[in-house]
Amino acid sequence: MGTDDATDVTSRAARRTTLALEALTAVGAVAGVQGFLVGAFDPLVDQLHDAWPVVAGRVLPAVALGAAVALPQGLALVLGVRRHPRAADVGLVCGAALTAWVTLQLPLIGWGSPVQWVFAGVGVVQVAAATAWRRHERRSRATEPSSAASRA
């Protein structure tokens, strides 16, 4: 296996990992939105209200989770599946945003939720995978012969 083959394998693995984490996170966030709306997380809503009085019901946390996590991760996933040139960049930003989102929530909802820690880890791994994918994509673009040079 040559260096180019190893690079291709690494790039594919990084892309697949990023896409898998985007899918997991989007599905998890949609489930969380549903959980908020049907009342499954009412104790959490009460806790959020105590820490941040602007949270006065189920809808705001559901909309916030959908807007901050589900939609961006879903968009990143669609771009990645369609092999958009900026998909790795969007995956990186979404992973960083997920990590920040979860980290900022910890003081509000407590440090004991395993779900928070799992998704903090998912965000960190997504950042790492998207960074590797991005690096390999940029290297491959830089080494591709330009269309002008290939016509000469």
pLDDT digits 0-9 by tens, 39-61: 999 998 998 888 888 888 999 99
Contacts of 64 (CB under 8 A, 6+ apart): none
* Mean per-residue pLDDT, 86-107: 95
- Quickly list H helices, the chain: 3-38, 42-51, 59-65, 71-81, 87-109, 114-143, 147-151
Average pLDDT, the chain: 90
DSSP 66: I
pLDDT digit string, tens, across residues 104-135: 988 888 778 888 899 999 999 999 999 999 99
* Mean per-residue pLDDT, 50-77: 95
Query: Residue 144's pLDDT band (boundaries 50, 70, 90)?
Result: confident
CA distance 104 to 81: 30
* pLDDT beyond 90 at 1: no
Count CA atoms closer than 13 A to 142's CA, side-chain side. Answer: 6
* Mean per-residue pLDDT, 5-17: 86
* pLDDT beyond 90 at 78: yes
Query: Residue 82's pLDDT band (boundaries 50, 70, 90)?
Result: very high
Predicted structure pTM score: 0.86
pLDDT number for residue 151: 43
Overall size of the chain counted in residues:
152
